Structure 1
Amino acid sequence: MPLDAATALAAAPVSREIAWGPDDVQLYHLGLGAGVPATDPRELRYTLETRLHVLPSFATVAGGGPPGVIRALSVPGAGVDPARVLHAGQSLTLHRPVPVRGAATAVSRVTAAYDKGTAALLVLRTEAADADGPLWTEEALVHMRGEGGWGGDRGPSGRPAPPAGPPDAVVERTVREDQALLYRLTGDRNPLHADPGFAARAGFGRPVLHGLCTYGMALKAAVDTLLDGEAGRVRSYTARFTGVVYPGETLRVRMWRQQEQEGPQGRIRMTVTVAGREDVPVLAGTTVGYR
């Protein structure tokens, strides 16, 4: 059925109880390619329960179940064909570090619907809080092909200027051939990432890597390279998904550190491209805020 933007915006918030533990955190980290080399002390912070810390992007899968881009399709008025839906971007604000073990209430609602002409863009905001207060706020941008043209607001169109000067660091991260299959176990069972026939119907030559997997891999690269492996320093993270990654490809992550004018806080600007496809961009507008 076609998108009904007014109904989606008017829909009541949906609340769900989520819980997670060390096994969930370790599985998520392994799904991002952590643990190579397996005995590296820096990697053991992601894989060994006695040293475990949580990469903040784990918040996007905490509690299991479908990610925001899929949950959006269950909102009244937004139940369109999943084959025409893409995850267009993700933002995350951390109110405090994500604990290794926790339970929280996550409340989601559509906060904006934009008419892009040939497509629609929905914003699904989720706020998670536990007994001690807010934990994180995330926003998923949901691109719906063929669902525009109703005369609505086009939404913001400004994009940040690309970072100037040479990057402070450049790293490459190889995506394993089975990485999408492993990452699916964190909760995103969209067949686009495993079923060749479904991927072909969606216009892709073969199954693609989850955008949120690329998102997590890039954050891990920034934390490991410019934040001394201290995941708790991350206070925000945002990116737009501009291209697909196929399992077996190599990501090239360029990073620029930018200190804020006042206080100890700063930002890391990043570009993420596919090294073997002439540096085609796959993440843009990518920024990590840190303390």
Structure 2
Amino acid sequence: MAVNMATTYTELMQLNIPDVRSSYCAKDTMLYALSLGLGADPLNETDLTMVYEKDLKALPTLPVVLAHPGFWPREQKSGLDFVKIVHGGQFIKLHKTLPIEGDIVGRGKVRDVIDKGEGKGALVYFERCLFDAQTNEKLVTMEQTLFCRGDGGMGGSGGSAPKPHVVPERNADVSWDCKLMPQTALLYRLNGDMNPLHADPKIAQQAGFERPILQGLATMGVAAAALTKTVCDGDPQKITELDVRFTRPCFPGETLRTEAWVDGGDVSFRVSVPDRKVTVIDNGRASLI
């Protein structure tokens, strides 16, 4: 018997996501880093370069909060069962050093859909690029992987999901522990992610969590900061690509451990919560210059 889907592969690929034009300033760049916990030690000169206007540099994950289209599966009436969507992974490629302030345009589109079959969900790959609003120069390419648990059977391109990056089996070359502030999720929301799941205990409990969880992209930002400290000599501009797979949620107040394996300009990494013995980011990969 045919299943009446709220959307189809063809409709999703043709979905029009409006461009988003916005401006950001040095204060936004500093707030982003502060929301991830940088600056906790006022004598840490590496942190100061990302939270203080003198010699300010942007973290490579800052683009995820710039010129954002919002939760497009719901706001653009995509037909996807947005309540059952899980953020599965995130890719960032910086084509040039990201300015600490500027006028930008964000352009997004559904790049691909991989249908796992009825009752098995679908993978939707959403590509978003940032351009300089004045010159139209491409600054950043990003790709968000969404696991749409309620949308299997809508059809797809027939392709297969790329294999996850393999983290080496040897002991990590470097490791960095970061104690999250209890209010980390509340601070990170001020970058533009206003999902109440990260603030409202009642909504978090309705979603099956004991309390509000940390944003996955905030976890990725903490990992980028850890890599900056451990393998980039304190310079975030050395990171040109980041690719992660989100595996488990974490909570504000927990300690995140970022372990990294360095092979020249290629860095593999993983993020865990040692107290609970769970991995929250796996198959991480970074490219350095």
Q: Quick check: TM above 0.5?
A: yes
TM-score by length of 2: 0.91
Where does residue 90 of structure 2 map in the other structure? Answer: 90
Q: Tell me, yes or no, if the aligned pair for 2:20 and 2:69 is still in contact at 8 Å.
A: no
The correspondence of residues 96-245 of structure 1 with structure 2, limited to 5 A, is 96-117=96-117, 118-130=120-132, 131-132=134-135, 133-152=137-156, 153=158, 155-156=160-161, 158-245=163-250
Which residue in the other structure is 1:263 paired with? none
1:110 is paired with a residue whose SS is strand
Counterparts of 1:32 and 1:228, CA distance in 2: 19
- Residue aligning to 1:275: 274
- What corresponds to 2:81 in structure 1? 80
Quick one: distance in 2 between partners of 1:95 and 1:103? 16
Aligned length: 280
TM-align CA RMSD: 1.8
Secondary structure class of the residue paired with 1:276 = coil
Indicate how the Cα distance of structure 1 residues 63 and 41 shifts in structure 2: closer, same or farther if over 3 A, else same. Answer: same
Q: Which moved more, 1:178-187 or 1:199-208?
A: 199-208
For residues 90 and 62 of structure 2, the distance between their equivalents in structure 1, rounded to whole angstroms, comes to 13
Tell me the equivalent position of 2:285.
287
**Deviation at residue 64 of structure 1 after TM alignment:** 6.0
Distance 1:138 1:50 in 2: 28
CA distance in 1, matches of 2:205, 2:159: 29
Once the two structures are superposed, the pairs formed by residues 28-47 of structure 1 within 5 Å of their partners are 28-47=32-51
Q: Kindly indicate whether the alpha-carbon contact (under 8 Å) linking 1:5 and 1:78 is maintained by their aligned counterparts in 2.
A: no
Cα separation, 2, equivalents of 1:65 and 1:134: 17
TM-score by length of 1: 0.90
Distance 1:119 1:269 in 2: 28
- 2:267 aligned partner, one-letter code: I
- In the TM superposition, residue 3 of structure 1 has moved relative to its aligned partner by 4.1
Give the Å deviation of 1:78: 3.7
Residue aligned with 2:114, SS: strand
Q: Deviations over 1:150-176 (max 9, x none)?
A: 354463152233313221101111111
The answer for unaligned runs of 5 or more in structure 2 is none
Q: Are the aligned partners of 1:121 and 1:143 in contact in 2 as well (CA < 8 Å)?
A: yes
Instruction: Give the deviation of 1:122 after TM superposition.
Output: 1.1
Structure 1 63/75 Cα, relative in aligned 2: closer, same or farther at 3 Å?
closer
Could you tell me whether the CA contact under 8 Å between 1:5 and 1:77 is conserved in 2?
no
> What is the alpha-carbon distance in structure 2 between the residues aligned to residue 19 and residue 167 of structure 1?
39
Match of residue 53 from structure 1: 57
* Residue aligning to 1:23: 27
Deviates more, 1:181-190 or 1:142-151: 142-151
Report the Cα distance in structure 2 between the residues aligned to 1:35 and 1:64, rounded to whole angstroms.
Answer: 26
